[in-house]
A = this chain, B = another copy of it.
Amino acid sequence: MNATTDLRICVLGLGSMGLGMAASLLKRGFTVTGYDPNVDAVNRFADAGGRAAASPGEAARGADVVLCVVVNAVQTETALFAADGAATAMAPGGIVISSATMSPDAARALAARCADLGLGYLDAPISGGAARAAAGELTIMASGPAAVFGRLRPVLDAIASKVYELGEEAGTGAAFKVVNQLLAGVHIAAACEAITFAKAMNLDIRKVYEVITASAGNSWMFENRVPHILDGDYAPRSAVDIFTKDLGIVSDIGRGLKFPTPIAAMALQMFVMTAAAGMGRDDDASVARMIAGLAGLDLPGMER
């Protein structure tokens, strides 16, 4: 048994991010068990060499590390602490890595419940998308005790090219991720507004993409998402509903702190309008289709 891979790992949530992370761990020689309520996801995991289980508790039995890559705080709590959840099934002194985007308060509450059971907790949101998850090249924004970071080093090295160690306390990793999501959500909404505005002015929007990506108006999201619009391809790499959720977290935190977030609030409404128009599960660049539909413009793939 290899000293760096003798940790028994359980992955809960086998969507595109969790599956990619599990595959990266399998490639490095870790034994990985997994659970997801979606049967197709479980089958892809088994095809990659993972051991499928019928519940979080079964998947986590005897695991040293549980990597939880579900959608939000409520799903994380369910996977860990519901009947047949993972927390009470893990090896004594095991560590939970929590990667869902959630509020700092939610991360602190989960860490406290883990501590009550003698489990370690790493507050470890991720950034980078499905392709980088599959390549083992995610960015992780993590906070937790130094001893937890130390024990998890080979796991983190397998899934990430960059691990930010942001402090000892749960909640700090979550807060950094929320700041990133504020910007990411605003930049997607702004990219969709700008490219449809260009269309409304009868500009060649492929040329607009070329010029803006070389100019001061560029953003990571503009560069990444506008090609979906140019190709008329709204198959979800990341869905509109992810940003109604994440900008909702921004809004909740802001109200709690009495801190105004007007730009994020407007962007949130753009995603809510897009979801209201029936595109919640489509790619988040669908905000452009929502605007174009409203304004009677034909973007690629929308020709009538």
Contact = CB atoms under 8 A, between A and B. Distances in A.
Contact of A197 (B182, B193, B217, B219): B182
A187 interface: yes
Given A217-B183, A222-B183, A197 B294 contact: no
Kindly state the interface size class of chain A when it binds its partner: 35 or more
Nearest to A103: B201
Contacts of A270: 262-263
A267 to B, nearest CB: 6
A129 B217 CA distance: 12
Given A141-B211, A203-B172, A216 B129 contact: yes
A217 B267 contact: no
Contacts of A197: 179, 182, 250, 253-254, 259, 261
B220 A217 contact: yes
Contact of A179 (B208, B258, B262): B208
Contact of A217 (B162, B184, B189, B210): B184
A26 interface: no
A139 interface: yes
A85 interface: no
Contacts of A262: 193, 266, 269-270
A258 B94 CA distance: 59
Q: How many copies does the complex hold?
A: 2
A10 to B, nearest CB: 27
Given A127-B215, A263-B186, A257 B179 contact: no
A183 B260 contact: no
A112 interface: no
Nearest to A176: B211
Nearest to A212: B180
Nearest to A218: B220
A144 to B, nearest CB: 16
Given A184-B217, A197-B250, 19 more contacts: A127-B217, A162-B214, A179-B194, A179-B197, A180-B211, A180-B212, A180-B216, A182-B190, A183-B217, A183-B219, A184-B216, A186-B193, A186-B263, A189-B263, A196-B259, A197-B259, A201-B257, A219-B220, A263-B270
29 contacts: A127-B217, A129-B216, A166-B207, A175-B203, A176-B198, A178-B201, A179-B197, A179-B201, A179-B208, A180-B211, A180-B216, A180-B217, A181-B217, A182-B194, A183-B212, A183-B217, A184-B217, A189-B263, A193-B264, A196-B259, A200-B257, A217-B220, A258-B295, A259-B295, A260-B294, A260-B295, A262-B270, A263-B267, A263-B270
Closest CB pairs A-B (n = 7): A183-B217, A219-B219, A180-B217, A200-B259, A186-B190, A266-B266, A184-B217
